[in-house]
Amino acid sequence: MSTPYPALVKHGLDLLHDPRLNKGTAFSEQERDELGLRGLLPPRRFTLLQQVERALANLRRKTSNLEKYVFLTSLQERNETVFYRLVVDHIEEVMPIIYTPTVGEACQEYAHIFRRPMGMYISRRDRGRMLDVLRNWPQVDVRVIVVTDGERILGLGDLGADGMGIPVGKLSLYVACAGMYPGLGLPIMLDVGTNNEALLNDPLYIGLPERRLRGPEYDTLIEEFIGAVQALWPKAMIQLEDFGNTNAFHLLEKYRDRICLFDDDIQGTASVTLAGLHSALRITGGSLCDQRILFLGAGEAGIGIGNLIAADLTAEGISEGNARRVCWFVDSKGLVVRSRTDLARYKLPFAHEHQPVADLLTAIETLHPTALIGVAGVGPVFSQPVVEAMTRINQRPIIFALSNPTSKSECTAEQAYRWSNGQAIFASGSPFPQVTINGRTLVPGQGNNAYIFPGVGLGVVASEASRVTNEMFATAAKTLAAMTLDSELAATCIYPSFKRIREVSVAIAVAVAELAYAQGVAGHKRPLDISAHVHAQVYEPTYISSHHDAYADVASSHA
């Protein structure tokens, strides 16, 4: 595999302006002489850790999370090594800034805080020349592409081209959480317009001020994009991110068996939620097939979770019908039941025989679910009566409020714990602080997709898999759940500490790579030691000893 360094020798200011090669004040005396840097830097040399210490101090001086996001983005644009060293060493502090919940606010303000482009922008104007456009990307070897069309950014809706913060953030997590080389990732915005009136009327909006492309023209543009990626980077994995429900299900169904592609909102969310359920059952006892899970929301996330649960159960020998009856859904019009005539096609497998039910609380009282999962993105709808009803029905109710950002969360950790008298097993999409109830400290788990997609991606890259299979996400879920410590479960935290995210991601990558070889989708012969093979792919944010060595390594790797 290639290193993350471009095969072009740079000197002087050109070198200082390259974030991947720039060491700033860490350049040695010899490097300053050899690379034309003498006089362009303060004469005192600092170590990487000293640079990180300075950056962290400046970060903590910022008075708002959005200011912190802008600072970190600027740091990433100047010096990737310092940026990733800071993120890796302070992941719990920085994660909510570079991703949820702050990335949602950043996307809402993206056009107004825009400084320089990161990644690529492709629009309808590029039809017929997509391959030539993608060739403008400077990296020779691209292995992971995160792409969005900005139609359903988190729970915030259509943000058009301002949704670019999502692919950029996701690829930062690939590097920070799993150790993927920075140069192997490419964030892409498919600017197909927006139906957001505020953006269409904003003179600073960075996207095309046009209505969204729909129908055959949209499909043709996507097909050309996919074909160009395959022609230029045949080993690349494509991650679909924050597409609208209809397009998300359609594109996943169309391409998942043709190319190496997955949808994080459907499959990544499903995997991290399934992991949370497996961990929760370590507390409550019982098996997954004995649960009755009620979802609020029947879009990408909810149906994706239901499909993965059903697939996981059928793999264990449960009939498909019984497996699907574990999952029940409430959408904006009530309980999803077979007698309804207004259901989208992707909801039909979960439309069970039952009398109509109009609202969530009535559905709880009627169905007696053991777990309640919120993925509707409509805000605080897990009210006190809802949580109290779940607690009355279950000794230890499982309550997941997974919608992002924080403003869209179905309830807070404080509410779930207090209204259940500390009995709830709670997880959320956005982070919440720990809560003390009756002298007992409870730690809410964060069902963040960052537990899943970086490890899955690293496993796919390491094995050069030609497909991302459903079984990979089920395997990732079980691996993640198994890594939650008993001490963490004792505090009702059903996910491992983010401090161990690299350990977790590499374990998932090894399991996914094992499966790729077993399923026959790997791109090369199975290595004797898969764990060692995966560990060899992991990037550590440190300075190389010599830039000339890096250039030589790159030249040989592309020879």
Percent of the chain with pLDDT over 90: 93
Strands 293-296 and 327-331: parallel
pLDDT at residue 417 is higher than 80:
yes
Asked if 333 is an active-site residue, the reply is: no
Instruction: Give the DSSP letter of residue 156.
Output: T
- pLDDT at residue 155 in the model: 85
What is the pLDDT averaged over residues 195-208? 97
Residues near 417 by beta carbon (within 8 Å), at least 6 away in sequence: 424, 426, 435, 437, 442, 444
Taking alpha carbons only, the member of 86, 105, 106 closest to residue 94 is 86
pLDDT at residue 5 is higher than 60:
no
pLDDT at residue 383 is higher than 80:
yes
Higher pLDDT, residue 505 or 552: 505
What is the pLDDT averaged over residues 84-109? 96
Band of pLDDT at residue 553, cut at 50, 70 and 90: very low
pLDDT at residue 462 is higher than 70:
yes
Mean pLDDT of the chain: 94
The tens digit of pLDDT for each residue in 57-94 reads 999 999 999 999 999 999 999 999 999 999 999 999 99
What is the pLDDT averaged over residues 431-452? 95
Alpha helices in 316-359 (DSSP H): 320-324
Q: Listing from the earlier edge strand, what are the strands of the sheet with 398-401?
A: 334-335, 327-331, 293-296, 371-374, 398-401, 425-428, 445-446
pLDDT at residue 554 is higher than 60:
no
Domains, the chain, ordered by start: 1-90+543-559 (1.20.1370.30), 267-451 (3.40.50.720)
Residues 99 and 104: their CA atoms lie apart, in Å, by: 8
Asked if 62 is an active-site residue, the reply is: no
- pLDDT at residue 546 in the model: 59
Q: Is 400 exposed, middle or buried (0-12, 13-18, 19+ CB in 10 A)?
A: buried
- Give residue for tokens 């025989």: 353
Residues 12 and 496: their CA atoms lie apart, in Å, by: 44
Alpha-carbon distance values, 320 to 309, 313, 315 (Å): 11, 8, 9
What is the pLDDT averaged over residues 205-222? 97
- Point out the catalytic residue in the list 23, 68, 170, 408: 170
Residues near 94 by beta carbon (within 8 Å), at least 6 away in sequence: 59, 72, 86, 87
- Point out the catalytic residue in the list 69, 84, 99, 255: 99
- pLDDT at residue 545 in the model: 72
The tens digit of pLDDT for each residue in 170-183 reads 999 999 999 999 99
The tens digit of pLDDT for each residue in 257-273 reads 999 999 999 999 999 99
Using an 8 Å Cβ cutoff, are 177 and 506 in contact?
A: no
In one-letter notation, the amino acid at residue 209 is: P
